Amino acid sequence: MEATNKSREGLVGLLLDRQAASGNAVDAKTAAAVSKETGVPTAKIYGVTTFYAMFSNEQRGANLIRMCKSAPCHVKGAKAVLRAFEKALGVACGQTTADGKFTLETCECLGICDVSPAVMINGEVFGSLTPEAVPGLLAKY
């Protein structure tokens, strides 16, 4: 069954729902279930989940931290803020804390370049960050 643009939009929404219900990942079991339900081949589902940054094929922490790595954030000190997150969490970028509470990732532009550097935690965006602000921000979670 060939996916049209309209059905692909429906597939993305369905996969987002399944990801949220299954612990922040579309693993092989979830992909197989969606394939059976929709008739979309698992290879196409894998293509969607590896193309779009909002998906993961591996379990993520309960709180997903996405640090913007675009040019405006980079110029304004995103690298130092990212290092502060890594230090505070005790993990490298791309990893999940041992307690499963946080996953730290980078992403492309969050669309708030006027308050860079910026980070998104569970969909909430925070801007004008400094390394010193990181521990207080994490304490909210």
pLDDT tens figures, 17-68: 999 888 788 999 999 999 999 999 999 999 999 888 788 888 889 999 999 9
DSSP state of 68: E
**pTM of the model as a whole:** 0.78
Query: What is the mean predicted confidence (pLDDT) over 67-79?
Result: 96
**Distance between CA atoms of residues 65 and 42, nearest Å:** 28
Outline where the chain has alpha helix (H): 5-21, 28-38, 42-51, 71-75, 78-89, 134-139
Residue that has been written with the tokens 């791309």 in this structure: 94
Across the range 4-25, mean pLDDT stands at 77
